[in-house]
Amino acid sequence: MTDFPPSDRNRVRRLPARAHYDADTIYPILDEALICHVGFVADGQPFVIPTIQARLGDTIILHGAKASRLLKHAAAGEPLCITCTIVDGLVLARSVFHHSMNYRSAVVFGRGRLAESAEEKWAALEAITEHVMPGRWADARLPNELEMNATSVVLVEIDEATAKVRSGPPGDDDEDYALPIWAGVLPSHLQFGAPLDDPKLGAGIEVPGYVGAFWRK
């Protein structure tokens, strides 16, 4: 499938066998990655800023304080690049040259606009909260009017996108397989530890089930 046909902008040049242009590959990467890195240009200078994203359909949601430089630039309608990367392991080949990583990355191109209606903004903040921790929105104290006014939400419609994926064992040159060097993959993932209570937590308040389910997985 090719939901985002390769253009001069999103076409992968290096190792095109690793490239994917379909939403079925790209969207799960955007959904699994906890954070993204947003690129924008100001006076010819690129900026790359980490932030939390969420996806609603074909739109990526960013949020932040009204005063944030990132949000101001993202809202301005100038070209953006939003990249999510998940590292799945270190690939240790026999030769230094063939060392690599297993990874899934998604690169999205689009332009941002400020969320207009209160409903649009509310749905976006719910999506952001649920992206980070499913179940939290129904439990936490929801935003009040003051907080809503202090927050900017930017919607970036996905204009073009690419995923690049590597998986599996190392690939060495034929003559190197005979070398007495260990080769393989060291898998990696983002691991969550046991929840730490806020020191100011009231007595008798237990860790909710959705948090426990999250860190035990």
Please tell me the distance from the alpha carbon of residue 206 to that of residue 208, in angstroms, as a whole number: 6
Check binding of 151 to its own copies (CB under 8 A).
yes
Please tell me the distance from the alpha carbon of residue 47 to that of residue 34, in angstroms, as a whole number: 20
Please tell me the distance from the alpha carbon of residue 90 to that of residue 27, in angstroms, as a whole number: 23
Residue whose tokens read 């104290």 = 141
C-alpha distance from residue 107 to each of 9, 26, 30, 37, 128 (Å): 10, 8, 9, 10, 19
How crowded is residue 184: how many other Cβ atoms within 10 Å of its Cβ? Answer: 12
Nearer CB in complex with its own copies: 113/166: 166
Check binding of 7 to its own copies (CB under 8 A).
no
Tell me the window of 22-30, 54-62, 79-87, 113-121 that interacts with its own copies (CB under 8 A). 79-87
Check binding of 166 to its own copies (CB under 8 A).
no
What residues contact residue 132 under an 8 Å CB cut-off, 6+ apart?
Answer: 34, 52
Residue whose tokens read 């599996």 = 168
Question: Exactly one of 105, 110, 124, 127 binds its own copies (CB under 8 A); which one?
Answer: 105
Tell me the window of 17-25, 29-37, 53-61, 113-121 that interacts with its own copies (CB under 8 A). 29-37
Question: Exactly one of 52, 56, 76, 114 binds its own copies (CB under 8 A); which one?
Answer: 52
Check binding of 6 to its own copies (CB under 8 A).
no
Question: What's the closest the beta carbon of residue 60 comes to its own copies, in angstroms?
Answer: 13
Binding mask 178-197 for its own copies (x = CB under 8 A): xxxxxxxxxxxxxxxxxxxx
Question: Exactly one of 46, 117, 119, 145 binds its own copies (CB under 8 A); which one?
Answer: 46
Please tell me the distance from the alpha carbon of residue 83 to that of residue 103, in angstroms, as a whole number: 13
Question: Exactly one of 26, 29, 30, 38 binds its own copies (CB under 8 A); which one?
Answer: 38
Nearer CB in complex with its own copies: 5/14: 14
